[in-house]
Amino acid sequence: MEPLVWSCLKALTPPDINVSFFDDRIETIPPDLHADAVALSVETYTAKRAYSLAAPFRQRGIPVIMGGFHATAMPEEVGQYADVVVTGDAEELWPQIVADLRAGSLQRFYRMQKLPDIKATVTDRSIYENKRYPHLSLVQYTRGCAHACNFCSIRASYGDTLRFRTVSNVIDEIKVSGKNHIFIVDDNILGDREHFKELLQALIPLKIHWSCQISLDVTEDDELLDLMQRSGCFNVLVGFESLSQENMAQMGKKWNLRQGPYSEQIKKLHDHGMLIYATFIFGYDHDTPEVFDQTVDFSLESGFFLANFNPLQPMPGTVLYDRLKKEDRLLYDSWWLDPNYQYGRAAFQPASMSPDELTEGCFKARTRFNTHANIFSRLRKNPTNRQSFYHSQIFILANLVSKREIGNKQFLKLG
């Protein structure tokens, strides 16, 4: 999908500066590219790839600037592979970086001193022209999350601070995108109910389809659910995480169950026409090898649109990572750089199963949920998944893509 960060930074770049944009996921970056500087946004999973892309430019004397969540969490490591490291949000730093580049005085580190105000954030979507992205546009309304799950790198970066763009700003961006299918990328769009209701009211006249990531406590507010349905919300990604109350307490997400059993909350979302993309994490201390089949059984019975079954991943900078490191349970010093680490493998020693059991259990759960038989069973059994021809199309296409990617990605080496 569109990497939203670059449309934000393009809007902050003076118009007399030539900008070329390449997306390594879908195109080849020209090896002989000429530039005054190269900027890369780095996530933990893509760190190794980013470092390998940066090396040839640095060898040719072209300075490389790296930012993103991984640069914020691991600035000293990133500094070994980049000439300039940007930590935190870049809105207030980018104009200075560009000015220093013009003057030939780039600094080694640019550090966010305070969280920038994003009320008037604008984007320049011209940067996406001629790129092979899905017919889906990404928009951000808020940054941050009010909850404190111990595995989450968002919380590690932003703390408990929530920031909002103006609703008019967001609506204008949706109109400019020209798309009628929008994914609002906020990590939890339910950060503030009154702000959320204001956005929902403004979305209704647009008559678009939109999806989001949201916490389960939305189900305690019938007015919100009605507004979501009226404004065109057709899909919500929800972190159920675990069926175990003990695990939920350990990860700091016990509030997930305060509205009653999952089944009641799922019914409320389905009754309001929303497809549910459910995510689960395996590997907390109360998980045993039986948890995989139990969770898949629950997911099939619930008729989820999509579901993902992930091994718990210790992300640098999180409370979880620090705890596992202190307990000497990490299997790699830096799994994201280790040449032996493969996508989908356990990166730590679970308490109640072996690392191999965690790895294989997650893969088998993904595979079982996404058999052709179970895909069409979920479509047939849950009327919400096939409430219209549009919904049925989205359901089938998304599930077939998910099924394909499970096999393509498992055990690939990072980078």
Per-residue pLDDT tens over the stretch 15-24 = 999 999 999 9
Instruction: Output the CA angle 98-100-105, nearest 5 degrees.
Output: 145
Residue 390 belongs to what H/E stretch?
helix 389-409
What domain count does the chain have?
Answer: 2
In a domain, 321, yes or no: yes
* CB-based burial label for 67 (10 Å; 0-12, 13-18, 19+): buried
Q: Which amino acid would we find at residue 291?
A: V
H runs (alpha helix) in 178-252: 193-203, 222-230, 245-251
Which pLDDT score is estimated for 7?
A: 95
At 309, phi and psi to the nearest 5?
-125, 100
Looking at the structure, tell me whether residues 189 and 89 fall in a common domain: no
Q: What's the CATH code of the domain at 52?
A: 3.40.50.280
Q: How far apart are CA 259 and CA 278, in angstroms?
A: 17
The token pair that represents 398 in the structure block: 């998304």
Looking at the structure, tell me whether residues 77 and 164 fall in a common domain: no
In a domain, 375, yes or no: yes
Which pLDDT score is estimated for 365?
A: 98
CA distances from 116 to 108, 164, 195, 265, 326 (A): 21, 11, 19, 35, 33
Give exposure, 367-397, as e/b (b: 16+ Cβ within 10 Å): bbbbeeebbeebbeebebbbeeeebeebbee
Which pLDDT score is estimated for 42?
A: 96
Per-residue pLDDT tens over the stretch 111-134 = 999 988 999 998 999 999 999 998
Whether 200 and 231 have beta carbons less than 8 Å apart is answered as yes
Looking at the structure, tell me whether residues 64 and 161 fall in a common domain: no
**Please, which residues have CB within 8 angstroms of residue 270's CB and are 6 or more apart in sequence?**
276, 303, 382, 384
Looking at the structure, tell me whether residues 103 and 168 fall in a common domain: no
In a domain, 127, yes or no: no
Q: What's the CATH code of the domain at 300?
A: 3.20.20.70
Looking at the structure, tell me whether residues 286 and 390 fall in a common domain: yes
Whether 135 and 181 have beta carbons less than 8 Å apart is answered as yes
- Domain extent at residue 146: 134-409
Looking at the structure, tell me whether residues 104 and 249 fall in a common domain: no
Looking at the structure, tell me whether residues 82 and 203 fall in a common domain: no
In a domain, 126, yes or no: no
Q: How far apart are CA 335 and CA 333, in angstroms?
A: 6
Give exposure, 257-269, as e/b (b: 16+ Cβ within 10 Å): bebeebeebbebb
Looking at the structure, tell me whether residues 90 and 212 fall in a common domain: no
In a domain, 248, yes or no: yes
In a domain, 343, yes or no: yes
In a domain, 39, yes or no: yes
The neighbouring-strand residues paired with 307 are 278
In a domain, 125, yes or no: no
Q: What is the pLDDT along the chain (415 residues), one digit of tens a residue?
A: 999 999 999 999 999 999 999 999 999 998 889 999 999 999 999 999 999 999 999 999 999 999 999 999 999 999 999 999 999 999 899 999 999 999 999 999 999 999 889 999 989 999 999 999 988 999 999 998 888 888 888 877 787 788 999 999 999 999 999 999 999 999 999 988 999 999 999 999 999 999 999 999 999 999 999 999 999 999 999 999 999 999 999 998 887 777 678 999 999 999 999 999 999 999 999 999 999 999 999 999 999 999 999 999 999 999 999 999 999 999 999 999 999 999 999 999 999 999 999 999 999 999 999 999 999 999 999 999 999 999 999 999 999 999 999 999 999 999 9
Domain boundary among 111, 142, 160: 111
Which pLDDT score is estimated for 277?
A: 98
Whether 217 and 190 have beta carbons less than 8 Å apart is answered as yes
Looking at the structure, tell me whether residues 138 and 106 fall in a common domain: no
Domain boundary among 111, 146, 172: 111
Q: What is the DSSP string of 354-374?
A: -HHHHHHHHHHHHHHHTSHHH
Looking at the structure, tell me whether residues 106 and 155 fall in a common domain: no
Looking at the structure, tell me whether residues 95 and 178 fall in a common domain: no
Domain boundary among 54, 77, 111: 111
Q: How far apart are CA 415 and CA 411, in angstroms?
A: 12
Which pLDDT score is estimated for 261?
A: 86
Q: How far apart are CA 155 and CA 72, in angstroms?
A: 12
H runs (alpha helix) in 31-85: 47-59, 69-73, 75-79
Looking at the structure, tell me whether residues 98 and 231 fall in a common domain: no
